[in-house]
Amino acid sequence: MSAATDSSHIDLIKGALDLDPWLEPYSQALISRQLQFRKWHADLAQSEGSLAQFASSYQSYGVHGDWSSKKIVVQQYIPDVDEVSLVGEFNNWDINAHKLHKANDFGLWKLTIDPVNGDFAIAHDSKYKIAMKKPDGEIIYRLDPWVLRATPSTENTLYEGRFWNPDPSTTYQFKHKRPTFNKKEGIKVYEAHVGISTPKPEIGSYKNFTKNILPLIHELGYNTIQLMAVMEHAYYASFGYQITNFFAISSRYGSPEDLKELIDEAHRLGIKVLLDIVHSHSSKNVEDGINNFNGTDHYLFHGGAKGNHDLWDSRLFNYANHETLRFLLSNLKYFLDVFKFDGFRFDGVTSMLYTHHGMGFGFSGDYNEYFNPEWVDQDAIVYLMLAHKLLEEIEVPEKDFKFLSIAEDVSGMPTLCLPTSQGGIGFDYRFSMAIPDMWIKILKHLSDEEWDLGSIVFTLTNRRHGEKCISYCESHDQALVGDKTIAFWLMDQEMYTNMSKLSPLTPVVDRGISLHKLIRLVTFSLGGEGYLNFEGNEFGHPEWLDFPRAGNQESYHYARRQFNLIDDDLLRYKFLFDFDGAMQHLDTKYGVLDTPQAYVSLKHEGDKVLVFERNGLLFVFNFHPTNSYPDYKIGVETPGVYQIVLNSDDDKFGGHNRILEVDDKGEKLQFFTNNERWNDRSNSLMVYIPSRTALVLQLKDKV
């Protein structure tokens, strides 16, 4: 054991080692990141007061108006320049009118602008920029990296920075507390994009989302929204993943006050709102982004090739830089403080964790892939640990509230979802990214008879013990043009011609509706400790997603979600919508997700029958395309009387109503166990399972 891994340091990762002893050979790597994290935390506490104070820099950096004095205070970190000026409409863009002074030798510049005629010298919502004189004498103009508002120019395709300083009396006042989940339910995430959340071929607004989409999400039973494309991005078709202005919310959907109202209304409905945060990379835009801000390629970023992501054509942050950490951590706290977000889904975590960014690298699960010092970006890992420490340290008035974090990581990095106090990186959940890939491969390459239940169960349950996962059948990636959603793979063109209840139920649509429900329910109940759905997929949205671009003549026809389809009771989309809601409410009422992993008692490849138990519920799936089984014997551990609480064959879900759920007296049908041991379970019962049907039974009375 080296000096770096003495017993006192081992205590830093004891929780991780207790959970996974196979990590012991990699103790030195785990300890090294812990020591670096703790050094940063201690240094920031000494130099900045605390980590939370350091992350409150958004209150002083940038351009701010003081409403008590009507003074404007400017503070910027700009190294490697000789002069800095604030220019804008307020001074006719004169670089000599309002020059900043050098506050220290580390690139800090400051300026205080006194009021003019008793009012702010700069008008609210007026245009401004930062002007800088480079050492070679060149004058360059850039948007403020800390700008709070950016809007498209009427003269060109660029975005313009605006001094956002509304009268406090006009700003939105939050009325509702941040919600907490009930003790039974797990996290149920509705992944949504404000701009496409309208049936009209136009950009949807925050107001529209608040009025029309939040009630639907609440009706379905989701308790969390993952809001995409909120951070300002000049190119709409980037889906929000090429950020140009990190502290500005996208102006194309409305005002900051509109977004606050959206989040506050979600809180009233008991729904948490997570921001899809993009700290893995930044847009290459210079004129309206932060790339090449001070005329160098290393402002907040790595210089040279190390600072470029070749596949994404974007810039990569230098997480070892003090001011980069200030910028990114302040960005997190800004959205939590000002907009009352409840946490984050971190995008592109795999790219952050590794120096190769996951490009052309196939992860096999070998632990050497996760701890090879040549491949792992420890600075990025330490940034993520600091981010999660910050989430712990931010104080909120709500009792028992905890900020949530989700990692988008395809690699399966061990300890990613363990607290830093246990030797982990700190995330609450990771996405089970192998699951949607599995479903697409099955639907693309296998006939129904070739489905391998053993392989399906393995993929759904193959997750790290003690680290929570969020399962999903498909995300926004599968909805994009060039790919197909599950509904499209199942029904294709018949979604346009045969989804009316006035037309005969075709074999394609019948199969599609049936398997759409089964795929979702088995993923939901077996795949993780949380669940995610991308908006529209819950009702089998019939069209792909394609943002306006040159290739489609800038059309908005496919950049929308046709929620009007579920309002039409003559269309079969409503069946899928209602089933999805019943599935979410199953967890709300009985608790499925945030419980120990299911016990699978049967995977019958010939019959295509899958049976498992989770938290007192009995799940029975018959994936066979034609065979129905009367009096099918299944095993169950707890003896007693069982009743059906969810039946995918119910006609209200587009099924055939082949299962009698009530007797001739109107009483719910009951299933009685006998003490015959079956499939390694202590008891058994008989049940009728029609083809392509799933049943969920609940223990009503114990014997």
Q: Quote the CA–CA distance of 198 and 155 in Å, as a whole number.
A: 28
Q: Quote the CA–CA distance of 690 and 695 in Å, as a whole number.
A: 10
Phi, psi of 602 (to 5 degrees): -150, 130
Q: How is residue 323 written in tokens?
A: 């001011």
Specify whether 408 is catalytic: yes
Is residue 319 within 8 Å of 377, Cβ to Cβ?
Answer: yes
Which listed residue (232, 264, 379, 408) is catalytic? 408
Q: Quote the CA–CA distance of 57 and 60 in Å, as a whole number.
A: 5
End-to-end Cα separation, the chain, in angstroms: 56
Nearest to 532 by CA among 460, 431, 416: 431
Task: State whether residue 302 is helix, strand or coil.
Answer: coil
Q: What are the strands of the beta sheet with 128-133, ordered from one edge?
A: 83-88, 128-133, 139-142
Q: How is residue 320 written in tokens?
A: 């070892």
Nearest to 329 by CA among 273, 408, 246, 395: 246
Which listed residue (144, 232, 347, 409) is catalytic? 347
Q: Quote the CA–CA distance of 320 and 378 in Å, as a whole number.
A: 9
The secondary element (H helix, E strand) that includes residue 36 is: helix 27-48
Q: Quote the CA–CA distance of 275 and 262 in Å, as a whole number.
A: 13
- Cα separations (Å) of 507 from 513, 538, 626? 10, 21, 11
Q: How is residue 481 written in tokens?
A: 């043009």
Specify whether 347 is catalytic: yes
Q: Quote the CA–CA distance of 660 and 431 in Å, as a whole number.
A: 38
Catalytic residues: 347, 408
